[in-house]
A and B are shown apart, each in its own frame.
Chain A
Amino acid sequence: MTNTSSQMKSGYAAKKKFANGVVYAILVVMCIIWVLPIVWLLLQSFRGESGTSVSYLFPKQWTFQNYINLFTDEELPFGTWFLNTFIVAVFSCIFSTLLVLMVSYAFSRLRFKSRKTFLNVGLILGMFPGFMSMAAVYAIMGLLGLSQSLIALVIVYSAGAGLGYQVAKGFFDTIPRSLDEAAKIDGATRNQIFWIIILPLSKPIIVYTALTTFIGPWTDYIFVSYFMKDNMQNYTVAYGLYKMLDREYIMSHFTTFCAGAVVVAIPITVLFTIMQRFYVSGVTGGAVKG
């Protein structure tokens, strides 16, 4: 009796071991599939041989020249693009974060007559495809004398930011209202409550909003391509790198593109990894609560 049960136990353990082995095998294969293209990109960026694609993974000649070319090339000024993107990202991050915080505070903590109407109109506006009206925005920028300028990009990225209030509003909703009421009894105005009580408690959501809005300009292709047209000096990295793969540049810039992609990917990857835990709770927070 004891014999059979121990046999069963070991059989069960073996089965379990086997199952885990299969899982490990699947995970390893998936890891390879997911990591290999990125490794390919990294290796190509150190490739000394010129030209476009090659049939082997490891470069025959290792070099750092691609990275040097990236920042010294006059024809495709990646350094300028990087700086442009950084400036645009910083300013649109500051403005967008402020706007998002203002809107979400107003909708979350303040009660006023037309609140519902505002929320509904916001919902409807958010359903239009973002770049549907970009021709009109471009015309408006032209009238303001801002066509093909970086300021236009900052405005485009931050003017509509107020619509992205949901995640931050959800966060504000979780701060107990009794805090507000206590402060109100002590004679604080709603303005003071915002600055002294709510903002210091909102560090996570400020970080989250700032990071998402900072990352945005680094990855946007659509608006830059339409707004900057052939004004290469004002490109941002996303469109600049895309340009490098154009027929006229790809032969001479293939490995440079790989280097540029690596240079852009590193900071964004780091920022995203910092942000991801906020990201998860932001996306699913509403769902879990229903």
Chain B
Amino acid sequence: MNRQAIIELAGVSKRFGNTLAVDDVSFSVNRGEFCTLLGPSGCGKTTLLRTIAGFEFPDEGDVRIAGQSCLDLPAYRRNLAMVFQGYALFPHRTVLQNVMFGLRMRKLGTPAEIAAWAKDALAMVGLQGFEERHPQQLSGGQQQRVALARALVLKPEVLLLDEPLGALDLKLRKAMRYELKRLQRTTGITTIYVTHDQEEAMSMSDTVIVLNRGRVEQTGPPEEIYRAPRSAFVGDFIGESNLLEAVVAAVEPDGHLRIRLFDGAATAAAQPAEPECPPQPGDAVMVLVRAEAIGLARVPQVDGDWFAATVSERSFLGATTRLYLKVGAIERVVIADLAGAPPVWAENGAQVHFGWTADAALAYSAGSIDSASGRQ
């Protein structure tokens, strides 16, 4: 057993009626770690968080807090603090009373101490002077800070956050991301964060757990998840990627694959994503290529594999420009993110060529087509 682990889930399953919301999930979160449960809606991430908080009880498996099974511990006896989606601030209480609530309930100090701590917590999130307001009189971002103060003031063993930034506008969301990360680092509190926003997950976490259909797809630091997605689903869900159907034509001596793609119209090199059981010639595979890994040229280059395409749309994204490339007669659209200003010749309707290096294309066995859902 890992002595550092504060939260451990072992083989947790949870069923709602006929739906298996969580399917045999195991993971552990270390002390001081910022861990994110990331996945599309319905992947079971909120159910897992609610299971840790004690609002749901697993049908199978065990949940341990600091090494102790907590399945027979009701929610109000667990030393965890949660920030709810929509914040769940008490509308009949002032901001200060909201922050004092947990301290009072857990009888952590004298009334004077409790009021002083609550004021400190409000100051920490930058809300001095708002003590006597009611939550309804605050903006979304301010309510968010109250919810954070209400949780952090308890100095809980673990902070649970359920899509805490979901209700804020983009600008505020990015500012709060930084703020949250700063608070987490200064307090050193173990944090479990639930989100469907991959950017949030990547920018804040020490560890990301990618979930799909109630199962863990991959666990690891953000860089690893981005660079070496273990399934086509993960690669597709994180970052902007192209997911292309292909057939393996040959396995080369260096381990690289030759694949036929675009309905067999072209061949390219790719790297098997699961080297332990690489696909064999004739196997159907899904090939994942990051949008930023795609290079563009006016004429085919001598080295590597290049494909002819038509620029069907360009959209300016600031630091990058995204091109939508239509490939041949099959009208498969490939997206390419080019750093900086794109060449002038790559205008709408222009004939161009694009390609990638063999290492940038990851080939997954086609069983994972299924799990790659409908995202494009």
> Does B associate with A?
no
**Chain A residues near B (Cβ < 8 Å):** none
